[in-house]
Amino acid sequence: MGNLFQIDTVTYHLLVLKDRFPNGINVLSLFSGIGGAEIALHRLGIPMKNVVSVEISELSRNVVRCWWEQTNQRGNLYHLADVQELNANRLEHYISSFGGFDLVIGGSLCNNLAGSNRHHRDGLEGKESSLFFMTIFVYWI
């Protein structure tokens, strides 16, 4: 459980968005896990118009998809399995399709950074944690 969002904490941080997006928000959720950011937005009553959820775990993607359906979300949910599939062309497609993202959020893999895990502590150069740099790539697009 060391590598996940605490939903109440995320909800607190996203509270400032509630009045800014009464008609909905477009979200790019990197390393989505089981959808902590999406749940936080839902709890705040912020409608999600479009969510591009990037998560490698099929089980986690299924959890998000089931939650999306069970809570009757009205927006569009797009899943990508691998953050490395999120190239410039794909990002530009999403941006032109619905006018860009209002929120980019993510919890990148920190397996090579945290001390309480089974992975080597290779820092940001580590196999898992090097994917952090994809967030910088997205920012520059």
At 83, the pLDDT band (50, 70, 90 cuts) reads confident
pLDDT tens sequence across 96-120: 999 999 999 876 565 545 555 555 5
Q: At what angle do helices 58-70 and 36-43 cross, to 10 degrees?
A: 20
The answer to whether domain 23-109+133-140 has CATH 3.30.420.40 is no
Alpha-carbon gap, residue 68 to 80, rounded angstroms: 15
- Residues annotated as catalytic are 110
108: Cβ–Cβ under 8 A, 6 or more apart, which residues? Answer: 30, 31, 129, 131, 132, 134, 135
| Confidence (pTM) | 0.79
Strands across the sheet containing 48-54: 76-80, 48-54, 25-30, 103-106
